[in-house]
Structures are given as structure tokens and as C-alpha cells.
A = this chain, B = another copy of it.
Amino acid sequence: MAELQLLDIGPLDLDGGSTLPVTLAYRTWGRLNAARDNAVVVCHSLTGDADAATWWAPLIGAGKALDPDRHFIVCANLIGSCYGSTGPVSPRPDSGRAWQADFPDISVRDNVRAQQRLLRELGVARVELTIGGSLGGMLALEWAVLDPTVRRVVLVATSHAHSAWCIAWSEAQRQAITADPDWQGGFYAPDRPPAAGLAAARMMAMLSYRNPASFEERFGRTLQPAQPGIVTAPLENGEAKPLFAVQSYLHHQGSKLVERFDANSYIRLTRMANTHDVGAGRGGAEKVLASLEQDVLVVGITTDVLFPLAEQRTLARLLPKGTLRVLDSPHGHDAFLLEADRLEHLIRRWLGEPRPAAAHSTSSFSCAST
């Protein structure tokens, strides 16, 4: 059942004002139960896709936190992405040509509304759990707001409103992309994307996903031979100078993303994250979060440079039934992927805990490493 499937969910009225015909690409694991209330919605992050069982493998499986023997797990590719759902590489209904830079701005809420339609089509009556990390966590939170019948929520390394810091990171990355001449205002030839700019953006992003200590441990000042395609100054004898291993690593990460991701999607989805603010148009975040009745597990990572722990502390504090768990990891933001086994353990334990009867339980704080 985990094959990529496509569903035309019809025209969607976007927050931006226009109407977009949407197809969602999604995968499912497990079966919907008779009560139709065992659905788990997994939300992917910026450059992720619908194949949650690959990028979050330790979380999904028999006996795991997300168990296909008990849950009906659904993961849909984001609108605006380039892995099957409607996005900048999709054809425009009017011309049949790809949207490219004309693709409308979409919001986190637009994406959640699209996923709500998908789940309805799949026969789901009530969602048992929404879960996501980073950008995925923003969707999981909006799910809880837009559908009060969602029972539980897990938010990992995320925030209730995209911070100035995160907006700044993404703006510098977009600047690197649009500085590439092959960007062409977003109407680049498919075989000539703004590769160097997108690579620079990814290199920058990798810094925000990791941490000084993890880089030091992994690379230090280790050198390696020069590589074609990485600019180094020639030595006196004309040979290229050696590279620091960390330089080579970054270029490798840049090249890998260029091969698998679309620059317009990168711009659209980072802009989408920028507009994330759960309180916008609803009287503010404090009010909205205070109104949520779901049990919410908020996971923060000790060394997260991009979404610092303070943001998850605030989020957990503002949720009436919020529980904060801290993942003590040296890997920074990416620990939500790199430490998925420890994350799974932590989520499974929380899912198994007895739920307090009172609506306003005290947030509990504990450290995953203890």
C-alpha cells in the first residue's frame, strides 16, 4: 500500500486569493479500521517527500511508534514541492506549460486543507495523530487548529511562528538562488536550472541544520585532495591546493540537492514557511494555542541552531496539554532525522503514557537522554 498514489482533490481556494486545481501525491501504510479513526498524518519537511517510511524509517513499523498493524499512516507530498503533488513543475491548466515562477504562493494552511480533503477521500472519520518535524511540524500544528477532532499531535524541532532568524536564513538562501544567472526570473530551462545558486543555498541550509560541535567532531581541519568543480587557488607548480574535508562535504550536499530538487519549489516552500504564524488572523498565538484541546508532545533539540530550544519551551508552555521533551543530541536541527531511533523511543513512550483527565495539565519537562 506504500506505493506513490495520485489523487485529484479538485480546485482549492488559496489563502493568497486564487484558486488552484490540486493533485496530491501520497503514500499510505496500514489499514483504516472499522471505526475509521486510526489515521496518522505524517508531514514532511522542506525538501522531503511522501515516503516517510524511508526518511523516518525508525518511526514506522511493527511495534514502533507509528505501527501499520494499528495505524493507518498517510503522508502526502506538499503542494509547491516537486515530488508529485501540484507545484511549479506541474502544467498550468490553461497553457499546459509548467507554472514555474507563476505558481501561486501557498500557505501551510492551504496544504493542511488539501490534506484534509485527501483524508476524507480515503474514508477517514477522525485523525488519531498528526506528526512532523521542522516545516512538517508547522503543518502538524495547523492540523490541530483546523481540525479540533485530531486527537494527538507531535511537533518536533519547530515553532508556532517562523522566527525572524529563520526568515533571515531562508532569505539569504533565496538571494543565492536568484543571483544565479540561470535563475532567469524563475523561468529557467528544465535542463539548465540555477544549479550553482541552488547549491549555495543548500550549503547554507546545511549549516543551519547542523552544529559547530558536530562539524568539529566529524571534519575538524582534515584535508583531502582537490576535486574538480570546487574552486581552489593553484599552487606555484600549478596543482590545485588541497581542500578541507568540510568544504568537500558541503559541495557534495549542494550537488545532491541540485539533482533532486527544483529551485522554484525551494523558493515557494521557504516563502511558505516564512508566512507560518499559527496566530495570524486568529487573535494571536497565545489565544489560539490556549484553545487547543489536544494532547501535544513538543520535542526540542539541545543543539538546534535553527529552531532553538527556547521556541519549543514557549510552544509547550502555551499549550494547555503540551508536554515538552528535550532530545539531547550533538547533531543540531537534523537530529530530528539523524536521531530518529531515539525520537521514536521518546514518542512511543509518550503515546503509551496515561492521558491526564484535566484539560489544563501542567506541562512536564524531561530530558530524553536521562
Contacts and interface: CB of A to CB of B under 8 A. Distances in A.
Interface residues of A, number: 58
Interface string A269-313: 001001001000000000000000000000000000100101000
Nearest to A241: B105
Contact of A171 (B167, B197, B203): B203
Contact of A207 (B169, B244, B271): B169
Interface string A147-188: 000000000000001111101110110111011110000000
A212 interface: yes
Contact of A220 (B164, B181, B308): B164
Nearest to A181: B181
A237 B40 CA distance: 39
A126 to B, nearest CB: 33
Contacts of A308: 212-213
Interface of A: 16-18, 104-105, 161-165, 167-169, 171-172, 174-176, 178-181, 196-197, 199-200, 203-204, 206-207, 211-213, 215-216, 218-221, 231, 233, 235-236, 241, 244-247, 249-251, 254, 271, 274, 277, 305, 308, 310
A274 B176 contact: no
Contacts of A274: 244
A220 to B, nearest CB: 6
Q: Is the interface of A mostly helix, strand, loop or mixed?
A: helix
Nearest to A163: B216
Contacts of A199: 175, 179
B176 A207 contact: no
Given A165-B216, A179-B179, A171 B247 contact: yes
Contacts of A179: 176, 179-180, 196-197, 199-200
A274 B223 CA distance: 12
Given A179-B179, A246-B164, A231 B174 contact: yes
Most chain B beta-carbon contacts within 10 A, residue among A17, A212, A218, A305: A212
Nearest to A274: B244
B161 A175 contact: no
B181 A231 contact: no
A271 B244 CA distance: 11
Given A164-B216, A171-B247, 15 more contacts: A17-B236, A161-B221, A164-B220, A164-B245, A164-B246, A167-B244, A167-B246, A168-B203, A175-B251, A175-B254, A176-B179, A178-B231, A179-B196, A213-B310, A244-B274
A308 B215 CA distance: 13
Nearest to A245: B164
Contacts of A105: 233, 241
A172 B250 contact: yes
Given A172-B200, A178-B196, A233 B271 contact: yes
A85 B18 CA distance: 57
Contacts of A216: 163-165
Most chain B beta-carbon contacts within 10 A, residue among A165, A200, A219: A200
A169 B197 CA distance: 15
A250 B178 contact: no
Contacts of A164: 215-216, 218-221, 244-246
Contacts of A16: 235-236
Given A197-B179, A218-B164, A308-B212, A203 B244 contact: no
